[in-house]
Amino acid sequence: MLKILNIVGARPNFMKIAPIVREMRRRENEFQPLIVHTGQHYDAAMSDSFFTDLDIPKPDFYLEVGSASHAVQTARIMTAFEPVVLEQKPDWVLVVGDVNSTIACALVCAKLGIKVAHVEAGLRSRDRSMPEEINRILTDAISDLLLTTSQDADENLKTEGVAAEKIRFVGNVMIDSLFYNLKKAEESKIREDSELNEKDYAVLTLHRPSNVDEREVLAGLLDALSAIGEKLPVIFPVHPRTKARIEEFGFSELIENSNIKLIEPLGYLDFLRLYSGAKLVLTDSGAIQEETTALGIPCLTLRENTQRPITIEMGTNILVGTNPGKIKEAAFEILESDSRKDTKIPPLWDGRAAERICDCLSEA
């Protein structure tokens, strides 16, 4: 039986870990899964609710590192995680995504000689100003098993000199969570509570420092969003960081006089129910680009690059950057058209990635 430490730290990790741990628990003769929550995201409203919504077991270890600079937070995770590894002596440590918890735990294991499996390996934005890109590159460089969501990720790794025998194309485990929870999310009353009719609204997420920490950039985005709001309501579950910047820069009145509707951050099921009924999604997040592609919902990504190019090549995602004119042009084209472009769900985005991940761990 393989003892696996499964690492979660930030909200996107929870949706990736949930189906993997569920599959490991189903295969109880093969796996002993343990969950380590680093506490990188520690607010109960934005963290604990995901455990409840996704039926993730209570963490076996909670490191409580909290918020800090990248250097301090990474160091705290490493310091708190090392004793857990030394005590538990796992066969594998499984890390997901590209947050500080991912690289911190992988680095501890690499130095202790503990095998690391990286779920969502090989994604590249080619933008090293993004902390996540550094985390991706470094985690892939020190992992023993690289589990990829798409074949372009395989090619990225091979180009970087990673041995082919370390790479396994398993599909997208985020889509496992999406398909598994779609029916359950129908119990949410978020649309009714917000008085929304399906396909009669847009959904916005906005939190990246490059978008919200510079006054001129945020002003341009809000200008474009206000114009889109003249066509239909823009529902905005506002991130605490973004809310603080809106108030700091004096944009609260602008939003109050627009059709941008700020609401509190949502749990996984409420948010799934909200965006799955939207006419259009605008985001600077990563995972939503994938989920909207799987559901066939038009998505405008408010960034200059994406580590998920397959969502553009095959899916519904359009990269629009932060130029207000480009955002409005793309949004109006979608809103004025009754037809959607010909899109496909990428290979192995079928809800069974967790099974393949567990197979790879058993066979490695």
- pLDDT over 90 percentage in the chain: 90
Same domain (yes/no): 101, 191 = no
Which residue is catalytic, options 37, 70, 118, 207? Answer: 207
Contacts of 313 (CB under 8 A, 6+ apart): none
Tell me if 342 is assigned to some domain: no
Same domain (yes/no): 264, 233 = yes
Tokens of 109: 């294991």
Same domain (yes/no): 253, 275 = yes
The CATH number linked to 295 is 3.40.50.2000
User: For residue 216, with 0-12 CB atoms within 10 Å meaning exposed, 13-18 middle and 19 or more buried, which class applies?
Assistant: exposed
Tell me if 343 is assigned to some domain: no
Over the chain, what is the mean pLDDT?
Answer: 95
Other CB atoms within a 10 A radius of the CB of residue 180 amount to: 17
Tell me if 331 is assigned to some domain: yes
Which of 11, 332, 303, 301 is closest to 133 using CA atoms? 303
Q: Rounded to whole angstroms, how far apart are CA atoms 85 and 220?
A: 47
- Inform me whether the pLDDT recorded for 45 exceeds 90: no
Report the Cα 16 to chain-centroid distance in Å: 8
Q: Return the pLDDT at 16.
A: 96
Tell me if 302 is assigned to some domain: yes
Same domain (yes/no): 196, 70 = no
Domain housing 50? 2-171+349-363
Same domain (yes/no): 167, 227 = no
Contacts of 96 (CB under 8 A, 6+ apart): 7, 8, 13, 16, 17, 102, 118, 119, 120, 173
70 in active site: no
Contacts of 53 (CB under 8 A, 6+ apart): 181, 267, 268, 269
**At 16, which amino acid appears?**
K
User: What is the number of domains present in the chain?
Assistant: 2
Instruction: Please say whether the beta carbons of 123 and 338 come within 8 A.
Output: no
Same domain (yes/no): 134, 189 = no
Tell me if 344 is assigned to some domain: no
Encode pLDDT of 161-184 as tens digits: 999 999 999 999 999 999 999 999
Same domain (yes/no): 153, 222 = no
Same domain (yes/no): 14, 135 = yes
| Predicted model pTM | 0.93
Same domain (yes/no): 235, 207 = yes
Same domain (yes/no): 154, 204 = no
